[in-house]
Structure 1
Amino acid sequence: MRVRTFTLNTKREIVSKITREILTLFHVEITGSEGTADYAQLSVVNRRLLDTPEGFVRMESTLMLFDPNGNLRRFSCESTGAGDERDGAAVNRLIKLNLYRIFCEQLAMPQAPWGILHGVRPTKIVHRWIRYGLDALQIEKRLQRDYECSVEKAHEIVPMAFRQIPFLRMSDAQTISIYVGIPFCLTRCLYCSFPSNLLPNERHLREFMEILKKDLLAAKRDVMRFGFRVQNIYIGGGTPTSLPDDFFAEMIGMVYNAFYGDHVYEFTVEAGRPDSMTPRKIAEMKRRSVSRVSVNPQTMQLRTLRRIGRQHTPDDVRRMYHALRKAGIPHINMDLILGLPGETAEDVRDTMEQVAALSPDDITLHALALKRGSRLRLLMDEQHVELPSGAETCKMFSVAMKRVESLGMKPYYLYRQGYMRGDLENVGCCRDGAESMYNIQIMEEHQTIIGIGGAAATKVVDARAGRLKSTFHAKDLMTYLRDIDYYTERRRTLLEEVYGDGRNS
């Protein structure tokens, strides 16, 4: 559906955001006054009705379509909230639910697998209902009723949430994770929207290392001051292994000396790309007790690797994998992307066979998310780069999941993003005993995570307020280097606000 203009009866940012999520879900394009369109205007009016006698929120949403001749089509839907919802959350959910039902039931649009669960961590909702005492069947029914979630997706995430419970119980208010961001890559992938930088020269790397050391030591002081126990260390990026050998050894040594101890359950390094790996880096990871390495081929199709800007080959992936196994790294994760340009479900089938032959401990399936900052998004607009259809991407996901399940792996964490091909999700699957504690903690936002390095985020769980509070280092590398004192002070202030004098215990 193409419309020239769109209006909404509120300026509230959250309402605008969730309304546009529904428009995006149903591929409603706002063309502007000069564009060719099916309708001259789409208008949405939301209004709160009188609450039910029990005090439940009631919302009515009206969608109006004006054709080029001024004729009006009007559609309305009304919904009632649940008794265990906060007032504001109920209002926002019901707006999305009403609009979703208008598109599906009155405008005959196809239903989405996840319903209105767009851009959220769906298992967080499941965990809340588990705490309320609901059983698995009751939760699945709630997901279908309150979020229009399909039976298949509800059945996928409910067992996953119950699987996570023992891991989440291994953490308390004083248990935290450490994230270290190394914002460099050897090349920039076509689909990438992360704030990473091409690897600079030695002089600029040395400047980064000095600032990183300052950042690390400030975080170490915070850990000691508030009596934190570090459960997980995660070095990500960018591609941390893009650092030259000497710099990589220095970096991982600083991280190990600052935070490693008896409480550490998991130490992860994103190795990412085979063209960034060397024997010395593997030896340094082994020496520093790294327990998990992420190897990210994304695909095992050589033509696709070249198309998306990767310099390695499938054989390079295999060599890197075997080198890590030979070194005795306990767990190896492999990331794959579904929906890459030019690929088909048969390409994914072949990739899965090649990956399965390596027997990794964990396979994470990512649906391609076309972010505004990626070169691929720009090329799509300018050069009409061909991507698999949503239906083909869903077929890819089905092929990949069947192969993962045949390896005895089960899903254990999941998250969703905007602009995902096929309205799918990113899902991590592993064999029993190979679950990544860090992945579970960060996706469920159950644990405070201190961020260090370029573009890193610190996310603090405020148990008293019942919410997550965040502070972010600059995405721009030069700003991070220049203003490091400002960012470390912001991080310390946030931790003091939540943990000072034992307030979060």
Structure 2
Amino acid sequence: MLKVVLKGHDYEYEVSELIKLFRSDFDYVEELKDTDELSLINNIKIEDKKVVSLTKVYDGNKVIEEFLEEKEFDKDYSEIINKSKNYNEFIEKLEREDSLIVKKATKWSIKKSIFRALKYIIPDSYVPWGDLTGIKPVKIVHNLMSDGMDDNQILNYLKNEHFITDEKAELALDIAKRERNFIYPLNENKISLYVSIPFCPTRCYYCSFPSNSIKKYGNLRRKYVERLLDEARGTAEIIEKRGWEIETFYIGGGTPTALEAEDMDYMIENLFDIFDFSKIKEFTVEAGRPDTITEEKLKVLKKHGVDRISINPQTMNDETLEKIGRKHSVEDIKKCFKMARNLGFDNINMDIILGLVDEDVEMVKNTLEEIKKLSPESLTVHTLAIKRASKLNMDMDLYKEHLTQYREMIKMIDVSMKAAKEMNLNPYYMYRQKMMLGNLENVGYAKKGYECIYNMQMMEEKQTNIAIGAGAISKFVYLNENRIERVDDVKNLEIYLDRVEDMIEKKKREVEKNAN
């Protein structure tokens, strides 16, 4: 057990997220007592124009190494420092903008000194994203590009400032350069629209998305569509009044194709009457699970101009499909894919998840070989994340011995990158998740010209996303203030049906309070 002492600050959460990159067995203590274990003491001090973070590594009661990091400020805070008893009081006396600057610098110096200490303690650890604990590394690259840095400067910054490996730094830069053409120049008048369909045939063991089983709630699907359209009408008024232009339209879930074909047809037809889609560049629907896809439903999507669909196997191994709660086979996946192709869908994405229960590298290779034969336009490779609301997390004692080991996961990532390259698919967006196995990443790959604009905008958060439906989360982006406000619709299906008007009002209040 690693003992950790923090002095002069209370950034326990940030330090915990960092330590978890290396090990899970650690504990915070007030002070070190007689022990023969390795321990860390981190101490910060605010001097006149800089913050100093010192991390000492103890072996028992003896200091064996020290790691110092300093970050300078543009201002001299000596007068306020002299009037403050401690760090928290000092922060409280600063103006808001200054406090944000100081806190950011403090966290930066703490993370760097502790990261170096952890790397010293565990020298053979593989921490490819360095001290980054956030979920969107590519956002950092975009900011550096906007600051005028060239490729070499950006790569050096990522490696020297955040300890990111060469491979991951180059991946982040490659993706940012590819995204740049779709996201920039920024335009506050363009938005994306998301519609949530919170129904599924069954709930997969790793899932935490809004999902209501058809068996239990299927009788509410038509009523849900009607109430969703009520929210759409109120939301369309907000969009029209604000003068926003819808650039991309995405129907997700749950599983949208869990709706009956008639309900899907009725919903999309009415959505096109309600919203102005005259300038959209992309219309995606997650067909998702093969056990919900029929020729009739695909014809409905084709009729309404859906130009991108997802058919998501997660794995092409039948034994795994059964273990994760899927009620379909690999052969069903192939049949659905070929059916969509025969109906004229020429932009199909497939999702897979690395690290599923009992899967090894050879099984992942099999999945990728089967997908290669189908030749989708894009492939999204997820690394299993243990989400709080998932069955996987709730029943972790049943699954933990069956989860992929760290070194195997690294091999799986390498295999997926190689397979994507062989399919002429380029990485075009990326994100990470908390509780992801190996602290690795999810990467979307696509053939040139088939990149999903919606995915890129959602990851980089440079565009407002209006979302409707149970469990949907709207993100209002204020570029001038570098601020994002989230407005969520209730997750519970039955409560949503009763409170749609409240969902509309929440969006209205957000827009009105920030109106120029």
Q: Same fold (TM over 0.5)?
A: yes
Per-residue CA deviation, residues 402-459 of structure 1 (Å, 9 max, x unaligned), is 0110121110100011121222100001111011000111100010000100111111
Partner of 1:58: 51
Partner of 2:423: 407
CA 10–368 in structure 1, closer or farther in 2 if over 3 Å, else same = farther
Matches within 5 A, 1:93-112: 93-108=108-123, 110-112=125-127
Q: Is the 8 A contact 2:9 2:44 kept in 1?
A: no
The answer as to 2:164 corresponding to 1:149 is yes
SS of the residue 2:476 aligns to: strand
User: Contact 2:284/2:307 (CA < 8 Å) preserved in 1?
Assistant: yes
Look up the equivalent residue of 2:67 and give its one-letter code.
Answer: C
Distance in 2 between residues matched to 1:419 and 1:161, nearest whole Å: 24
**Kept in 2: contact 1:336–1:366 (CA 8 A):** yes
Structure 1 letter corresponding to 2:22? F
| Residue from 22, 25, 40 that aligns with 2:21 | 25
Q: CA deviation at 1:234?
A: 0.5
Whether the 8 Å CA contact 2:135–2:434 is kept in 1: the answer is no
For residues 82 and 260 of structure 1, do their structure 2 counterparts lie closer, same or farther at Cα, with a shift above 3 Å needed? farther
Question: What is the aligned length?
Answer: 485
* Pairing 1:357–2:373 present: yes
Specify whether residues 434 and 305 from structure 1 end up closer, same or farther in structure 2 by C-alpha distance, changes over 3 A only.
same
Q: Is 1:274 aligned with 2:274?
A: no
Q: C-alpha offsets along residues 472-495 of structure 1, whole Å, 9 cap, x if unaligned? A: 112232332333222221111112
* Mean CA deviation greater in 109-118 or 407-416: 109-118
* Match in the other structure for 1:480: 496
Alignment of 1:68-467 (within 5 A): 71=61, 76-81=66-71, 86-108=101-123, 110-169=125-184, 172-199=187-214, 200-201=216-217, 203-382=219-398, 384-467=400-483
211-220 vs 74-83, which moves further: 74-83
- Within 2, Cα distance between the matches of 1:10 and 1:214? 53
SS in 2 for 1:297: coil
Per the TM alignment, residue 350 of structure 1 is displaced from its structure 2 partner at its CA by 1.1
Q: How high is the sequence identity, in percent, across the aligned residues?
A: 34
User: Following TM superposition, by how much is the alpha carbon of 1:61 offset from its aligned partner in structure 2, in angstroms?
Assistant: 4.2
Alpha-carbon contact 2:57-2:117 (below 8 Å) kept: no
CA–CA separation in structure 2 for the residues paired with 1:228 and 1:111: 45
Change (3 A) 1:156 1:255: same
User: Separation in 2 of the partners of 1:32 and 1:160?
Assistant: 38
Counterpart secondary structure, 2:173:
helix
**C-alpha offsets along residues 190-223 of structure 1, whole Å, 9 cap, x if unaligned?**
1112232212445433332232121111111111
Cα deviation for residue 466 of structure 1 reads 1.7
User: 1: distance between equivalents of 2:400 and 2:24?
Assistant: 19
Name the CA distance, whole Å, in 1 between partners of 2:403 and 2:508. 44
Alpha carbons 1:118, 1:417 under 8 Å: kept: no
User: Considering only aligned residues, what root-mean-square deviation do their CA atoms show, in Å?
Assistant: 2.6
Q: Measure the CA separation in 2 of the matches of 1:483 and 1:192.
A: 25
Query: Do 2:5 and 2:28's aligned partners in 1 also have CA atoms closer than 8 Å?
Result: no
Matched residue SS, 1:25: coil
Aligned partner of 2:96 in structure 1 is none
**Shift in CA distance, 10/335, structure 1 to aligned 2, threshold 3 Å:** farther
Contact 1:6 1:41 in 2 (8 A): no
Cα distance change, pair 297–107 in 1 and its aligned pair in 2 (3 A): closer
Change (3 A) 1:300 1:225: same
Comparing 20-29 and 454-463, the one that deviates more: 20-29
Name the amino acid aligned to 2:47: L
Q: Which moved more, 1:488-497 or 1:103-112?
A: 103-112
**What is the letter of the counterpart of residue 70 of structure 2?**
T
Matched to 1:27, the amino acid is R
Give me the whole-angstrom Cα distance separating, in 1, the residues matched to 2:113 and 2:228: 48
Describe the shift of the 1:23–1:477 C-alpha distance in structure 2 as closer, same or farther (beyond 3 A).
Answer: farther
Deviation at 1:72, TM superposition (A): 6.5
Range 190-199 or range 232-241, more displaced: 190-199
Give 1:315 deviation, angstroms.
Answer: 1.1
Tell me how far apart the structure 1 counterparts of residues 237 and 106 of structure 2 sit (CA, whole Å). 42
Counterpart amino acid of residue 47 in structure 1: I
Aligned twin of 2:79: none
TM-score normalized by the length of structure 2: 0.88
Residue 494 in structure 1 maps to residue 510 in structure 2: yes
Q: Distance in 1 between matches of 2:476 and 2:182?
A: 19
Instruction: Quote the offset at 1:9 in angstroms.
Output: 4.7
Distance in 1 of aligned mates of 2:222 and 2:9: 47
Q: Quote the Cα distance in structure 1 between the aligned partners of 2:111 and 2:491.
A: 31
Distance in 2 (CA, whole Å) between partners of 1:245 and 1:252 is 11
Deviation of 1:111 (Å): 4.0
Select 1:47's aligned residue among 44, 48, 53.
Answer: 44
For residues 238-297 of structure 1, the C-alpha deviation after alignment (integer angstroms, 9 at most, x for no partner) is: 111111222222222233332352210000001110001111211111111111101110
* Counterparts of 1:6 and 1:478, CA distance in 2: 46
**What's the CA shift for 1:106?**
4.3
Q: For residues 7 and 236 of structure 1, what CA distance do their matches in structure 2 show?
A: 45
Deviates more, 1:259-268 or 1:362-371: 259-268
Report deviation, 1:136: 0.7
Report Cα offsets for 1:155-195 as digits up to 9, x if no partner: 11112111111101265111000011111111011111223
1:356-383 per-residue CA deviation (whole Å, 9 max, x = no partner) reads 1111000111011112222122333246
Give 1:421's aligned amino acid. L
| Distance in 2 (alpha carbons) for counterparts of 1:244 and 1:375 | 27
Q: TM (normalized to structure 1)? A: 0.89
Quote the Cα distance in structure 2 between the aligned partners of 1:254 and 1:23: 50
Q: Provide the C-alpha distance between the structure 1 equivalents of 2:128 and 2:335, rounded to a whole number of angstroms.
A: 38
TM superposition shift of 1:28: 2.5
SS in 2 for 1:49: strand
